[in-house]
A and B are shown apart, each in its own frame.
Chain A
Amino acid sequence: DQQVKQNSPSLSVQEGRISILNCDYTNSMFDYFLWYKKYPAEGPTFLISISSIKDKNEDGRFTVFLNKSAKHLSLHIVPSQPGDSAVYFCAATPNSGTYKYIFGTGTRLKVLA
């Protein structure tokens, strides 16, 4: 049973516009959430994170929003650039002492020049 879900397998956005990637989770014990970016033939690289005590975290062009009541988080990329084209994974971990990172299935973002 998928505890972290990314329901959009792909997304295409025009360069300069906003990209919004969504993620839903089911486990209320998750209290830390992360986004990773992955290029082909490389390992995932960390992008941005958010703790459950916050509802927004911003880092340059990247902003993550967390809606705990809806068990939903989203990643906004503004403005989108062709170099942002990659697969994006959301991940969640519970504060249970073992720190298991559970990942979603990923969304492939294509930014069109």
Chain B
Amino acid sequence: DAGITQSPRHKVTETGTPVTLRCHQTENHRYMYWYRQDPGHGLRLIHYSYGVKDTDKGEVSDGYSVSRSKTEDFLLTLESATSSQTSVYFCAITDRGNTEAFFGQGTRLTVV
């Protein structure tokens, strides 16, 4: 298994509070991704990173920000959580293009 750890694995938070999810890898892979999974929508890309301090938006980036200050860590922040951000969040990593991406176990976030 690829060395990807997501934390926390479960979180319940209140509307309007900031939340940070962490993805930590031990593979030294260059590319890291954050996805959310929702019924009927599959996996949608939120943000991704192609190197330290190099990030870009995905399909559903509104309300989210990311940071990557080290190769091994990619943080996803919900600046002011809303109920529509209740979802399961997955981190993925890959070393290069035209190869598979490896996923973490997911973080289930509930915004009440």
Q: Which of A54-113 contact B (CB under 8 A)?
A: 89, 91, 93, 95, 97-106
Task: Answer whether A105 and B33 are a contact pair too, CB < 8 Å, given A44-B90, A99-B94.
Answer: no
Q: Which of B34-84 contact A (CB under 8 A)?
A: 35, 40-45, 48, 50, 56, 58-59
Complex interface: chain A residues within 8 A of B48 (CB): 98, 100
Complex interface: chain B residues within 8 A of A100 (CB): 33, 45, 48, 58
- Which of B56, B94, B98 has the most CB atoms of chain A within a 10 A radius of its CB? B98
Q: Which of A1-16 contact B (CB under 8 A)?
A: 6, 9
Complex interface: chain B residues within 8 A of A99 (CB): 31, 50, 94, 96-97
- Bound-complex Cα distance A9 to B39 (A): 10
Task: Answer whether A51 and B98 are a contact pair too, CB < 8 Å, given A43-B90, A98-B50, A99-B50.
Answer: yes
Q: Which of B33, B42, B101 contacts A46 (CB 8 A)?
A: B101
Closest to B94 in A: A99
Q: Which of A28-55 contact B (CB under 8 A)?
A: 31-32, 34, 36, 41-46, 49, 51
Binding site for A on B (CB under 8 A): 4, 31, 33, 35, 40-45, 48, 50, 56, 58-59, 90, 92, 94, 96-106
Counting from the closest, the 9 A-B pairs by CB-CB distance are A43-B103, A105-B42, A46-B100, A103-B43, A99-B97, A32-B98, A106-B42, A44-B103, A103-B42
